[in-house]
Amino acid sequence: MKKQQNILVIGAGLCGSLLALRLGQRGYNVTVYEMRTDLRKTDISAGRSINLAFSDRGNKAIKLVGLEDQVKELCIPMNGRMLHDKESNTFLSNYSGRDYEYINSISREKLNSLLLTEAEKYDNVAIHFNKKCNSVDFENTTAHFQDYITKEEFIEDADCIIATDGAGSALRKSYYLERKFLFSFSQNYLTHGYKELSILPSETGDYKTYKNALHIWPRGDFMVIALPNLDGSFTVTLFLSYAEGEYNFNNLTTPEIVTEFFQKEFPDALELMPNLVKDFFENPTAPLGTVKCSPWHYKGNTLLMGDSAHAIVPFYGQGMNASFEDVVEFDQVLEANKDADWETIFTAYEKTRKKDTDAIADLAIDNFHEMKDHVGQAIFQEKRKIEMALEKEFPEDYSSKYSLVTFNENIGYREAMLKGRAQDKAILKMLADGVISASDDIKDILDKVKIETEAILDDHKVAGLR
Amino acid sequence: MKKQQNILVIGAGLCGSLLALRLGQRGYNVTVYEMRTDLRKTDISAGRSINLAFSDRGNKAIKLVGLEDQVKELCIPMNGRMLHDKESNTFLSNYSGRDYEYINSISREKLNSLLLTEAEKYDNVAIHFNKKCNSVDFENTTAHFQDYITKEEFIEDADCIIATDGAGSALRKSYYLERKFLFSFSQNYLTHGYKELSILPSETGDYKTYKNALHIWPRGDFMVIALPNLDGSFTVTLFLSYAEGEYNFNNLTTPEIVTEFFQKEFPDALELMPNLVKDFFENPTAPLGTVKCSPWHYKGNTLLMGDSAHAIVPFYGQGMNASFEDVVEFDQVLEANKDADWETIFTAYEKTRKKDTDAIADLAIDNFHEMKDHVGQAIFQEKRKIEMALEKEFPEDYSSKYSLVTFNENIGYREAMLKGRAQDKAILKMLADGVISASDDIKDILDKVKIETEAILDDHKVAGLR
């Protein structure tokens, strides 16, 4: 009965194209409007392609739509963090003590293209490009678009509208500006911005540094990271304060000072990047923001999904994974409420999902500090060493916060956060107090960590307010 | 030298009028534009006047401008919370174990009038009413106004503009909409709204219930409070969910159901409020929101102060006190930077102040749950009993979170929050674990609370991230 209904999806990025595909598979009539041009028809030079971390939560969604094998071909496994210090020493820190747990580097463009092509195979799915949504009349369930090429403006009607139009969502803006209901909303920027750079392939087309890792140059207040691409290049990202510190985006204004900065802080990276200065001044500096809001839906008319509802900073590698998990959760709500109206479905979806997207937003900011700073500190390294040993020796009994978030797609982000933070606190406290050390019997450590973690979780419950 | 400078203040509410007075005292040329009519010239019926909690942080500001004696005459001391249960039993819970620590109920109108009159005594201060600010051009330090009466629109120029125009600030809106810099911003609404009601004086003009307390009818998911006015009335506020629970603002739509609700939940209050139904349907239901943002200033041109920078929910009775403290802090920054430019002053002010206004925003939400719910729970009551005893026996050695926030104007809100929360957690944990009980030797309790509090604060430091 619901299958006759027409769904308008705003935005054909990763979340929108996956959503369109899944709704198409469920038999809905789906019309998608995307403001950009069709990325399958444009040429993006190889070294500049943007890659993303793809892990188990994202893969759960890909399995749902039956594309696991095809996506696997796009993936480059990254087994751990390769840390680079200022003396160009490297140290590989695995993401998990379990060999089969790793994350992947994947091309945004290739993955998005695959999802678009698969979605379009369904007769009941239509995707239109170069159509920008300017606003949504959520009372009347209509959206206002403009065609980028013809400049023509038009209004589209639907039974319901789902906005997957990213951090700058037109629907969210309409919720905020119309003031027709109490809309809680936050946008929070870090003091740091980012700039993408690249390590190009060697002359023989090979990777210039170790392929199967996420490279990090942690420097306390700033950092560089690099993720591999299929063509032998790496996409490199500099995360740096706009205005603070000796070097910052505001004062890196000449080739000389940029080179000096890299020479001093990232000498081994500089050696791999003869193209540094060109990249630096050609590529934009972009801000890092977190968006949260509530409610996501207006009655049964409109719904925010993906980044439009919860944009996060990239430091947990979970942005795409969280948006894909939105589609899985939405699909489960649809399945469990087959005869329900859209308002019931949207309400149930937000109720089950929002606590988890709030949690990954906070976790992503935690990880900013962990990546640029803590990974270089002795006590955090000792904690990590212990956690690797625990995961290796007791694969069924222990998962670090990172593993809970990244590899345990059957628990929600919020549960992963609460348990993971309590574990971190327990281990750091016991290390600081000399109650455990990395050389202790590992079973003894496991028992102590479990008891202390439970005690911390209990304390939180007693305190109530926090 | 700076004394020649012209400062434009937007908004002549409590914060704006105090700021204008203080800047006038410092010799600046101050022009204030207020959108409302002059409240000294309008008639507000007695029972409906809005009162506020006034305590030590606010009084510090009042002392600064030399009005302590005059303000004292407007104050009604409230020594504690008078709790009313469903069976109409009452229980007085003091705010502090120290007799000289109490809060005050004060009329917003009378206090604001006093500040306006005092500010206008300075030749270098001018206040204009009925002029609404629509937007601020913060690049050019000009503000756009419209006269409510003549409808005339005009633009005012200044050396710097300080917006004390409240939670709906025109300057903050301009910061947000112009997108000329990265503006972090949040507005978060509670699921509850509030409605003001009243207990009128008796026929002989007396208070119908105990005068010197803040009355609370805590009911878990909702509550009623009442604060005394000088004329013998109380201003009563109902805090209730818009949509959830058996009774909520959405379904309290008839005189019968409103009366039924009060009869069932607040029988003793109902007895004092024959005017309940009239008040209920004449007075609006208003939302409860928290606003945070950053930066507060744009270069040395414009600055947000008071609610425009940090609107908070009313549950700690600190809204006005926090805004008054803003003026004290700003004055201290002015004093310490006499030869500095406005950008230096605004930057220094935000740096020192924002951490504290963020803290009181969070504390105010904590206290919402404490007032409507925790005050009625046995473990919280036992904690409170212990804290009263500690403050009474060791007035120099112990202050509860409430005392730190409310009566310790020489430490910041953030320090009060961190220490106060750790103390709460320590006491609740030890009560739950049976380590202490209210019948123990009080010196023994003090020692245990101090040690456990320090341990909790240390744990937080070790965990780093949180």
pLDDT by residue for chain A (466 residues), tens digit each?
Answer: 444 689 999 999 999 999 999 999 999 999 999 999 999 998 655 444 589 999 999 999 999 999 999 999 999 999 999 999 999 999 999 999 999 999 999 999 999 999 999 999 999 999 999 999 999 999 999 999 999 999 999 999 999 999 999 999 999 999 999 989 999 999 999 999 999 999 999 999 999 999 999 999 999 899 999 999 999 999 999 999 999 999 999 999 999 999 999 999 999 999 999 999 999 999 999 999 999 999 999 999 999 999 999 999 999 999 999 999 999 999 999 999 999 999 999 999 999 999 999 999 999 999 988 887 777 788 888 999 999 999 999 999 999 999 999 999 999 999 999 999 999 999 999 999 999 999 999 999 999 999 999 999 987 776 653 3
- Quick one: B176 and B198 in the same domain? no
Smallest Cβ distance to B465: which of A188, A289, A366?
A: A366
Q: Is position B323 within any domain?
A: yes
Q: Closest residue of A to B371, CA-based?
A: A465
Interface check for A462 against chain B (CB to CB < 8 A): the answer is yes
Interchain pair A184, B185: CB under 8 A: no
Chain A residues closer than 8 Å to B248 by CB:
none
- Quick one: A178 and A323 in the same domain? yes
CB neighbours (10 Å) of residue B31? 19
- Quick one: B218 and B178 in the same domain? no
Smallest Cβ distance to B186: which of A186, A424, A432?
A: A186
Adjacent-strand bridge partners of B144: B135, B155
Q: Is position A87 within any domain?
A: no
- Do B113 and B14 contact (CB within 8 A), yes or no? no
Interchain pair A465, B187: CB under 8 A: no
Tell me the shortest Cα–Cα distance from A348 to chain B, in angstroms. 15
Residue at a domain's end among A287, A321, A340: A287
Position B423, amino acid? Q
Alpha carbon distance A364, A368 (integer Å): 6
Interface check for A425 against chain B (CB to CB < 8 A): the answer is yes
Interface check for A150 against chain B (CB to CB < 8 A): the answer is no
Smallest Cβ distance to A429: which of B369, B459, B465?
A: B459
Per-residue confidence band for B459, with pLDDT thresholds at 50, 70 and 90: confident
- The pLDDT assigned to A371 comes to 80
Nearest-Å Rg of the Cα atoms of chain B is 23
- Quick one: A347 and A225 in the same domain? no
Tell me what percent of the residues of chain B surpass a pLDDT of 90.
91
- Quick one: B182 and B200 in the same domain? no
- The pLDDT assigned to A4 comes to 60
Tell me the shortest Cα–Cα distance from B462 to chain A, in angstroms. 6
- Quick one: B126 and B175 in the same domain? yes
Beta strand A103-107 pairing with A51-54: antiparallel
Interchain pair B184, A182: CB under 8 A: no
Interface check for A351 against chain B (CB to CB < 8 A): the answer is no
Interchain pair A429, B463: CB under 8 A: yes
Tell me the shortest Cα–Cα distance from B349 to chain A, in angstroms. 18
- How far, CA to CA in Å, does A370 sit from each of A101, A210, A364, B57, B121? 20, 22, 10, 37, 56
Position B111, amino acid? L
**Inter-chain Cβ pairs, chain A and chain B, closer than 8 A:** 80
Interface check for B1 against chain A (CB to CB < 8 A): the answer is no
Alpha carbon distance B449, B317 (integer Å): 27
Tell me the shortest Cα–Cα distance from B413 to chain A, in angstroms. 17
Interchain pair B184, A184: CB under 8 A: no
Q: Is position A88 within any domain?
A: no
For the ranges B43-47, B227-231, B378-382, the maximum mean pLDDT occurs at B227-231
Average pLDDT over every residue of B265-289: 96
**Structural domain total, chain B:** 3
- Do B79 and B213 contact (CB within 8 A), yes or no? yes
Helix and strand numbers, DSSP H then E, in chain A: 15, 19
- Quick one: A405 and A328 in the same domain? no
Interface check for A285 against chain B (CB to CB < 8 A): the answer is no
- Quick one: B181 and B297 in the same domain? yes
Q: Closest residue of A to B369, CA-based?
A: A465
- Do B23 and B158 contact (CB within 8 A), yes or no? no
Adjacent-strand bridge partners of B147: B131
Q: Which of A188, A250, A358 to probe the B interface (max B CBs under 10 A)? A: A188
Interface check for B378 against chain A (CB to CB < 8 A): the answer is no
Interchain pair B429, A366: CB under 8 A: no
Q: Above 80 in pLDDT, residue B37? A: yes
Smallest Cβ distance to A287: which of B182, B292, B465?
A: B182
pLDDT tens sequence across B150-164: 999 999 999 999 999
- Quick one: A51 and A116 in the same domain? yes
For residue B251, the domain's CATH number is 3.30.9.30
Tell me the shortest Cα–Cα distance from B344 to chain A, in angstroms. 15
Chain B residues closer than 8 Å to A185 by CB:
185-188
CB neighbours (10 Å) of residue B446? 17
- The pLDDT assigned to A457 comes to 92
Smallest Cβ distance to A464: which of B183, B185, B374?
A: B374
* DSSP alpha helix (H) spans, B249-341: 255-265, 267-272, 276-282, 307-310, 319-336
Interface check for A428 against chain B (CB to CB < 8 A): the answer is yes
Interchain pair A463, B370: CB under 8 A: no
- Quick one: B257 and B317 in the same domain? no
Interface check for B410 against chain A (CB to CB < 8 A): the answer is no
Smallest Cβ distance to A424: which of B187, B421, B463?
A: B463
Alpha carbon distance A142, A233 (integer Å): 44
Q: Which of A290, A293, A316, A459 to probe the B interface (max B CBs under 10 A)? A: A459
- The pLDDT assigned to B58 comes to 98
pLDDT tens sequence across B245-262: 999 999 999 999 999 999
Average pLDDT over every residue of B54-80: 98
Q: Which has the closest alpha carbon to A10: A148, A115, A142?
A: A142
For residue B133, the domain's CATH number is 3.50.50.60
Tell me the shortest Cα–Cα distance from A390 to chain B, in angstroms. 20
Position B285, amino acid? T
What are the φ and ψ backbone dihedral angles of B105, each rounded to 5 degrees? -95, 135
Smallest Cβ distance to A188: which of B186, B289, B425?
A: B186
Interchain pair B462, A188: CB under 8 A: no
- The pLDDT assigned to B372 comes to 78
Chain A residues closer than 8 Å to B464 by CB:
369, 374, 428
Alpha carbon distance B194, B216 (integer Å): 14
Chain A residues closer than 8 Å to B423 by CB:
none
Interchain pair A425, B369: CB under 8 A: no
Beta strand A223-228 pairing with B223-228: unpaired
- The pLDDT assigned to A42 comes to 81
Chain A residues closer than 8 Å to B454 by CB:
none
Q: Is the dihedral of CA B244, B245, B248, B251 positive or negative?
A: positive
Residue at a domain's end among A235, A267, A287: A287
Residue at a domain's end among B369, B394, B420: B369
Mean pLDDT of chain B: 94
Angle at A291 (CA atoms; ends A289, A294), nearest 5 degrees: 170
Interchain pair B424, A189: CB under 8 A: no
Q: Is position B89 within any domain?
A: no
Q: Which domain covers residue B228, as residue numbers?
A: 189-287
Average pLDDT over every residue of B360-375: 88
Q: Is position B123 within any domain?
A: yes
Angle at B249 (CA atoms; ends B244, B253), nearest 5 degrees: 125
Interface check for A241 against chain B (CB to CB < 8 A): the answer is no
DSSP letter for each residue of B179-218 = -SS--EEEEEEEEEEEEEEEEPPPTTS--SS-SSEEEEEE
Interchain pair A462, B185: CB under 8 A: no
Tell me the shortest Cα–Cα distance from A2 to chain B, in angstroms. 28
Interchain pair A463, B425: CB under 8 A: yes
Average pLDDT over every residue of B361-378: 86
- Quick one: A361 and A243 in the same domain? no
- Quick one: A267 and A206 in the same domain? yes
Tell me which residues of chain B, numbers 70 to 129, contact chain A at a CB-CB cutoff of 8 Å: none
Q: Closest residue of A to B366, CA-based?
A: A465
Q: Which of B172, B179, B180, B188 to probe the A interface (max A CBs under 10 A)? A: B188
Q: Is position A32 within any domain?
A: yes
Q: Which of B184, B292, B362 to probe the A interface (max A CBs under 10 A)? A: B184
Q: Is position B91 within any domain?
A: no
Tell me the shortest Cα–Cα distance from A249 to chain B, in angstroms. 14
Chain B residues closer than 8 Å to A428 by CB:
462-464
Interchain pair A465, B185: CB under 8 A: no
Q: Is position B329 within any domain?
A: yes
